[in-house]
Structure 1
Amino acid sequence: MSKLRLPLHEKVAYGLGNFMPTAVTATGGMAMYFYTDVAGLSAAFIGTLLLLVRVVDAVWDIWVGRRVDATRSRFGQARPYLLWFAPVLALALVLSFSVPPLEGAARTVYYVLAYVALWCAYSLIQIPFQSMMPMIAPDPDERLRLAGVNSLVQFVFVIGCSAGFPILKDVLSDGVPAQGFQLAAMLFAGLGLLFTWLCFAFVRERVPPMSGPRAALKADLRSLLASRAWRTGVLAQCVLGVLIGLPLSSGVYYFAVVMGQPQLIGPFMGLGGIGLVLGVIVSDQLTRRLCKKRVYVGAMLSGAVMLSAMLFGGADRLPLVFALALLSNLCLGISAPISYSMSGDIADDIERREGQRVVGTLVATINFASKVGSGLCSAIVGGVLSFTAYQAGVAAQAPMAQQGIVALMSVIPALMALGVAAVMAWGYPLGRAQLQQMNAELTQRRTAQAA
């Protein structure tokens, strides 16, 4: 079982399942701008709301993860969720970028409900999708290769979503920004539904569920808390969520206010996506020769250097800004396949030590940590904009507001990258030797159980 090599078409099909979650997270970079400058809500309120909704989301994520672990069907444990709930997420995405014919408190309530529905539906796709990786590829090395193809396909989608959404919402607006956002969201939702169902059709789960009754939630959580790898992974994923979200959320403000060229936000995001793709290619070569934990830490440290150098950018140094965006995203791309494969490695480590497989619950907690990081990112952006007296819809901002936006693109994400590197370097226990030994033990155990 552990030596199985996946066909390329199945790896690509698995990667197609990234489109819908990527559309939600990538367009999330425009969400703050949409809510403040199109929907007319305050930045401080939206930043706080996004954080609070993510915290409440914790209970929902755990429930979804538990349901994945308990699911038994002819389609497998995780695949049925892609079939059933992709239409729900598509609808929620459109509603989140629509302006209803409501005013005042009624409009605020609408966006609260739409945002809650969006991220609940997101969990119903993302948690099963991520849980499939160790079910598809039992071997850690093959899992890393699958994560590499998955990341490559995902970052192609990141380029399309991050660069395409700002362009599409302008092309389709016909002078009405609200119309442009809604039509762009409808197009992305339709493509996401198609790609998610293709993923369902061509991917196969290979690791059967463990026999016997499911352990209680308390027992599963106890197994997670006892795992040093899980504790480290949750903390790193939370900080990484802040790191990834900051340039996405503040980039539109950076080019509109600091650079004075808002039309460049699309090319900027697109170039960053190219850097992510190149990073995945480099990551595959590095992890074939070096311990992936060391590669991950090195990529984060290099990314921190590139991000901090954004302080020296400006309207008269456009080539430098774009070059740093390419290089910092290349570093992030190097770490991406390693980060994706980490959940499967942690699940295998817990199964080896505890004799219990908690893939869905584990992925739910990792996913929640990423959501908390994304919520913290929104709160940080909203807090900095409010503290520096940013005025929505005003082209000429005060120097303090411009400095705050520059910090959101440079110093603050650089500190986040250093934090991730420190957490992984001193806390994560699964290096190459540990993973090889763990795979050998689990292969023998699963073979014996199957017999």
Structure 2
Amino acid sequence: MSKLRLPFHEKVAYGLGNFMPTAVTATGGMAMYFYTDVAGLSAAFIGALLLLVRIVDAFWDIWVGRRVDATRSRWGQARPYLLWFSPVLAIALVASFTVPPLEGTARTVYFVGAYVALWCAYSLIMIPFQSMLPMIAPDPDERLRVAGVSSFVQFIFVVGCAAGFPMLKDALSDGNPAQGFHRAALVYGGVGLLFTWLCFAFVRERVPPMSGPRANLKADLRALLASRAWRAGVLAQCALGALIGLPLASGVYYFAVVIGKPQLIGPFMGLGGIGLVLGVVLSDQLTRRLCKKRVYVGAMLGAALLLTAMTLGGPDRLPLVFTLAFLSNVCLGVSAPISYSMNGDIADDIEYREGQRVVGTLVATINFASKVGSGLCSAIVGGVLSVTAYQAGAAQQAPEALQGVVALMSVIPALMALGVAAVMGWAYPLGRSQLQQMNTELAQRRVATA
């Protein structure tokens, strides 16, 4: 079992499952702009609300994760969720980018409800989807290859979602920005539904659930807390969520008020997506030769250096801005499949040490950490814009507001990248030799149990 190799078409099919979650997260940067400049809500209110909702969402994520661990069906543990709940996520995505015919408090309540529904539905897809990786690929090396193909496909979707969404909403707006957002969300929701069902149809789970009664939540959480790898993974994923979200959320402000060319946000995001895809290809080559933990840390340090250099950009230095953004995204692309595959490695580590398989609950906690990071990102953007007196929709901004937007694109995400590198370099214990030994012993245990 440990040396099982998946057919390439199944790896691609698994990658297709990334579209719907990517559509939600990649359009998150436009969501902040949509709420402030189209829906008319204050940046500080939205930033605080998004952070609060994601903290509350932790309880929901844990429940979904435990349901995945407890599920037994002819389709497996995780695949049924992709079948039944992808339509729910598609509807919630459209609702989140729809301006209702309401005013005042009623409109605010609508957006709060739509946002809560969006992220609850997101968890019903994302947690089972990520939980599938160690279930379909028992071997850590093959898991990394699957994660590499999946990340390659995902970042193609990032190009389509992050770069294509603003262009699509402009093309479909007919002069009405709210209508453009709504129609673009309809397109993305429909495509995401199709791809998620294709993922369900062609992917197979191979690692059976452990026999015997399920441990209670307290025992599962105790097993997670006892894992040094899990503790490091949670901290790193939180910082990584903020790091990835900051350029997406602040890029539209950067090109609108600092560069003065908002039409460049689409090409900027597209070039960044190409950098991510190139980074994934490079990651596969590097991790075949080097310990993936060391590759991950090096990529984060490179991203921190390049993001810091973004402070040198400006309206008269657009080639430098695009080059630095492209190279920093290459570094993030290198780290992506490694970060993705680490969930399975941590799950194996807990099974190896504690005798418990808590994949769904583990993914829920890691996913929650990423959501907290994304919520922290929204709070940082909203806080910086408010403190620096950013004026929504104004062509001219105060110097403090311009400096704040530049910091959101450079120094602040650079600090996040340094934080990820520090955590993974000093606290994460699973290097190549540890994974090889652990996988060999786990394979023997599973065969004996079967």
What's the counterpart of residue 60 of structure 1?
A: 60
Q: C-alpha displacement at 1:214, in angstroms?
A: 0.3
Which residue matches 1:203?
203
Q: 1:417, CA displacement in angstroms?
A: 0.3
Distance apart, 1:430 and its partner CA = 0.1
Cα distance between partner residues in 2 of 1:340 and 1:414: 21
The offset of 1:93, in angstroms, is: 0.1
Deviations 1:13-53 (A, max 9, x none): 00000000000000001000000000000000000000000
Partner of 1:77: 77
Equivalent residue, structure 2, for 1:160 = 160
CA displacement 1:274-317 (0-9 Å, x = unmatched)? 00000000000000000000000000000000000000000000
Q: CA deviation at 1:347?
A: 0.2
Letter in 1 for 2:59: V
The CA deviation at 1:378 is 0.1
Q: Output one character per residue of 1:173-193: Cα deviation in whole Å (capped at 9) or x when no partner.
A: 000000000000000000000
Q: Distance in 2 between matches of 1:205 and 1:175?
A: 47
* Alignment match, 1:385: 385
Which secondary structure does the structure 2 equivalent of 1:289 belong to? coil
In 2: Cα distance, 1:192 partner to 1:219 partner: 36
Residue equivalent to 1:326: 326
Q: Is 1:414 matched up with 2:409?
A: no
Instruction: Note the residue ranges of structure 2 that are not aligned, 5 or more in a row.
Output: none
Q: Distance in 2 between matches of 1:169 and 1:387?
A: 30
Matched residue count: 450
Superposition CA RMSD, Å: 0.3
**Deviation for aligned residue 1:401:** 0.3
Deviation at 1:336, TM superposition (A): 0.2
Return the offset for 1:102: 0.3
Question: What's 1:240 paired with?
Answer: 240
Displacement after TM superposition at 1:125 (Å): 0.1
Which residue is 1:12 aligned to?
12
Q: Deviations over 1:331-367 (max 9, x none)?
A: 0000000000000000000000111100000000000
Equivalent in the alignment of 1:93: 93
Q: Structure 1 residue runs of 4+, over 3 Å off? A: none
Cα deviation code 1:91-133 (max 9, x no counterpart): 0000000000000000000000000000000000000000000
Cα deviation digits, residues 218-257 of structure 1 (max 9, x gap): 0000000000000000000000000000000000000000
Q: Which amino acid aligns with 1:446?
A: R
1:49 aligned partner: 49
Which amino acid is 2:79 matched to? R
- Confirm whether residue 260 of structure 1 aligns to residue 264 of structure 2: no
2:146 corresponds to 1:146: yes
Structure 2 equivalent of residue 184 of structure 1: 184
Name the structure 2 match of 1:299: 299
**In the alignment, residue 216 of structure 2 is paired with which amino acid?**
A
* 2:250 counterpart letter in structure 1: S
Q: Percent identity?
A: 85
For residues 212-361 of structure 1, what are the structure 2 equivalents within 5 Å? 212-361=212-361
**Any idea what SS the aligned residue of 1:49 has?**
helix
- C-alpha separation in 1, matches of 2:342 and 2:147: 10
TM-score, normalised to structure 1's length? 1.00
Aligned-partner SS, 2:26: helix
**Residue identity in the other structure for 2:138:** P
Q: Can you list the C-alpha shifts for 1:400-438, whole angstroms capped at 9, x where unaligned?
A: 100000000000000000000000000000000000000
Q: Which amino acid aligns with 2:194?
A: L
* Cα deviation, residue 203, structure 1: 0.1
TM-aligned CA deviation for residue 259 of structure 1:
0.1
TM-score (structure 2 length as normaliser): 1.00
Instruction: For 1:6 and 1:306, locate their aligned partners in 2 and report how far apart those are by CA, in whole Å.
Output: 36
Deviation at 1:368, TM superposition (A): 0.2
Identify unmatched segments of 5+ residues in structure 1: none
- 2:446 is the counterpart of 1:446: yes
Q: Separation in 2 of the partners of 1:88 and 1:172?
A: 24
